[in-house]
Amino acid sequence: MEHFKRNSEAEVVLILTNNPQAYVLQRADNFEVPSHIFNRDEFYKSDDVIKLLKNLQVDLIVLAGFLWLVPVSLLKAFPNKIINLHPALLPKYGGAGMYGDHVHKAVLANHEEESGITIHFVDENFDEGEIIHQSRFKIEPGDNLEMIKFKGQQLEHQHFPKVVENLLKKMKS
């Protein structure tokens, strides 16, 4: 939201979440971006979310921290227009249950020499869509969970908005 507030080419038109306690709702309010909280039935058993997104003429759906599988109906309504940010270098450390600290702990437990982020298209499976972008960082001896998270978050802030911006430009050309 911060990046696109200063961007005349694109804007964040809506924040959607299934978590009424999500911090992103406060951030959306701070940036004066409308938000909508939905439940499992609304997401999986109705077309309400699709209708909302279509009414807003959304060009790209950007997931960050979203843990549910995206229903096929939404994938079909927005083909190759839903992307996700994953806190590891896929295909390693992806799939059901692999999010946030679970990913970073697995990376540490396996004594990986590097980790990073993956931005990918969303398909009907967890973390299996086509990779759009990956960025890496070196894991130094003595790096702990907090340091790995920090390094990953730095890459997210550096690359995610630019990847979104480039995708939107490609869609419009």
pLDDT confidence of residue 111: 97
* pLDDT tens, position by position, 94-103: 999 999 999 9
Q: Which residues of the chain have pLDDT under 70?
A: none
65 conformational bin, left if phi > 0, alpha if psi -120 to 50, beta if neither: left
Give the number of domains in the chain.
1
Phi, psi torsion values for 96, nearest 5 degrees:
-55, 135
* pLDDT tens, position by position, 131-168: 999 999 999 999 999 999 999 999 999 999 999 999 99
Instruction: Compute, in degrees rounded to 10, the torsion defined by CA atoms 19, 72, 85, 88.
Output: 110
CA distance 105 to 96: 15
Instruction: Compute the C-alpha angle 146/147/150, nearest 5°.
Output: 85
Residues with a known catalytic role: 86
The residue range of the domain holding 154 is: 2-172
Copy the structure tokens of residue 43: 């997401």
> For the domain that residue 158 is a member of, what is the CATH number?
3.40.50.170
